[in-house]
Amino acid sequence: MSAYKIEAGTAQHIGNRPQQNDRVALYTAAQAPGYVMAVLADGNNSAIAADQVLHTSKHLFDEFRVGDSANLPRLQELLRNIAHEVHQVVTMNPIAAVAEPQSALALLVLTPQAQAVWAHLGDARLYRFSGESCAMRTNDAAYVEHLVKHDRLPLAAAKKHRGSRLLNNALGNSMKAPFVTVGWHEGLQAGDALMLCSDGLWQLFGPEELAAAVARNTPRQAAERLIGKAAERAQGKGDNCSMAIIKLVAPPQEAPGYTVEKMRRAV
């Protein structure tokens, strides 16, 4: 019997924006039984790039085949390939020459071997919770280090990358190829949870607040409460708010199945 079962859900709210440019989805793999993918794309200017994220993620995940055991480097390569293929398709779109649609990205794959592999770029975030504690959250540290080492930028300038069109780390940015940060965790267990979310959510909450909300509620209840609180805190200036929540919960214990034959043997 599995050490845990998965409870998952997605949620979105338009906030105070004129349209919803975020996209979020949960997928199973056509040729990799037991594998689950969560995808979150935070679109900028339009939903064109975010829509492409969902299309490419589903297509490449369905093509993914596994051997007898999970191969973490191959899964990392899969997530990088999704990001780079989306970037290429979006930048080739004729609309990109005028509107330049862009998107931040968070990807997560869970394996049957209790492993999690993730990738992110831009302002989308991924959290791993252990009970009501935040065990890990993604950030821009790796990208800042990349700008300093690879692009030879001063640290102060690298930290201000969000304010520069040239340095903005996003799918669809025609001025710079995306930098994808990957990570993984082995030994998932009941009581753990993972969350992907857009900046319309994470900028309004501390990590421990998110962990507590997820731990104390079902994914649907947690999403509803977080969206409600986000709207309250945004005070009429809320961004698109999207999330995918995956909780690992202990499977229900089987009730004792006593039969007459078993009772005779016991006697």
Residue 267 has a pLDDT of 43
| Structure token pair of residue 151 | 């692009």
Tell me what percent of the residues of the chain surpass a pLDDT of 70: 93
Residue 126 has a pLDDT of 98
Interior angle at CA 113, CA 110 and CA 114, nearest 5:
60
CA distance 188 to 96: 40
The number of residues in the chain equals 267
Domain ranges of the chain: 5-249
Tell me what percent of the residues of the chain surpass a pLDDT of 90: 82
pLDDT band at 166 (very low <50, low <70, confident <90, very high): confident
Task: Indicate whether 70 pLDDT > 80.
Answer: no
> How does the average pLDDT of the chain come out, rounded?
92
Chain CA centroid to CA 241, Å: 13
What is this structure's pTM?
0.91
Please report how many Cα atoms fall inside a 13 Å half-sphere around the Cα of residue 29, on the Cβ side: 21
CA distance 244 to 54: 13
CA distance 89 to 34: 29
Instruction: Of 68, 63, 2, give the one whose Cα is nearest residue 37.
Output: 63
Q: Note whether 63 and 49 are within 8 A (CB).
A: no
Burial class (CB in 10 A: 0-12, 13-18, 19+), 203: middle
Cα distances (Å, whole numbers) of residue 181 to 44, 80, 87, 202? 20, 9, 15, 18
Residue type, 51: D
pLDDT band at 64 (very low <50, low <70, confident <90, very high): very high
Interior angle at CA 197, CA 55 and CA 208, nearest 5:
155
CA distance 4 to 249: 5
For domain 5-249, give its CATH number from 3.40.50.720, 3.30.70.1450, 3.40.190.10, 3.60.40.10: 3.60.40.10
3-state secondary structure of 11: strand
